[in-house]
Structure 1
Amino acid sequence: MENRILVLDDDPGILEAIDLSLTYCGFQVRPMLSGDNVFRMIDDFEPNLIILDHLLGGKNGGEICQDLKNDPLKKDIPVIMLSASPEAAVKNPEFGCDSFLAKPFDLNLLVSEIKMFINPYPLVLR
């Protein structure tokens, strides 16, 4: 099974950098520029982890995270919240995110955070 990561960020440059970096690291990445239809995308893509920007052009990533964590079928999907807003870091516990990274962030740190939740190279037992 491939490790699938859904990435939501309304900044095309950040989205592309994350997509390229994670694809290079062996993850299957699905980038989204907006939170529109995010729950349908989660149902279709079945991600192992979600990277979620706090402010998504009118949508609140914190509220999206809360909705995910309140859904019995989606609550166990790890969510890493990204934000340049100091307010988001303070409110992170109420959003229910599993991890938080302040923007700007180091892509190596993001990959390390992801690997705490999923492994891009699953061990195959024979």
Structure 2
Amino acid sequence: MKKVLLIDDDLDLLEVLAAALACFGFEVNTSSYTTDIHSLVYKYQPDIVIIDYIMKGINGGEMCSALKKKEATKNLPVIILSAYDKVINSLGNYGCNAFISKPFDLQDLINNIRNILYKPAVIAQL
């Protein structure tokens, strides 16, 4: 079972997304706030992280960037969710594997997660 770490300060959305992802067969751990993304990742050992872009203190883009800069977590897939797609498009993608605008279709989110987690390995040409 693939593990998802879901971080969003909207508690209602966090609860609904966690329940929906669990229904699709994912083990879900949630957090509504963190000052240390690395400690959450080391604690839960997720296969993918889904982060809201706008939160109190640090934004999801900065969390993603912090994960992508550290050797131990640079290959950990990250999806950023945000209602502010024009803002993030102007700032860059922070190295995230996908950016999904809110409101979003749940099936689109599931498809993105599956595409990232289960994409076939590329075999080098000889």
Query: TM-score, length-normalised on structure 2?
Result: 0.87
Q: C-alpha separation between the residues in 1 aligned to 2:89 and 2:23?
A: 28
Any unmatched runs of 5+ in structure 1? 120-126
Cα deviation, residue 102, structure 1: 0.5
Distance in 1, matches of 2:27 and 2:48, equals 11
Work out the CA distance in 2 between the residues paired with 1:117 and 1:99: 9
1:13 shift after superposition: 1.3
Instruction: Describe the superposition over 1:46-88 as per-residue Cα deviations: whole angstroms up to 9, x where unpaired.
Output: 1000001111112111111111000110011110000111201
Q: Is the 8 A contact 1:89 1:102 kept in 2?
A: no
Q: Structure 2 unaligned segments of length 5 or more: list them.
A: 119-126
2:100 partner SS: strand
Shift of 1:91: 2.5
Q: Distance in 1 between matches of 2:102 and 2:34?
A: 19
Output aligned runs, 1:1-126, within 5 Å: 2-85=1-84, 86-93=86-93, 95-119=94-118
Q: RMSD of aligned C-alpha atoms?
A: 1.2
* 1:87 aligned partner, one-letter code: V
Q: Do the aligned partners of 2:6 and 2:30 also contact (CA within 8 Å) in 1?
A: yes
Structure 1 residues 92, 35: closer, same or farther in 2, change over 3 A?
Answer: farther
Q: 1:22/1:92 Cα in 2 relative to 1: closer, same or farther (>3 Å)?
A: farther
Kept in 2, the 8 Å contact 1:92–1:100? The answer is: no
CA contact (8 A) 1:51 1:79 kept: yes
Partner of 1:123: none
Aligned residues: 117
> Percentage identity across aligned positions?
32
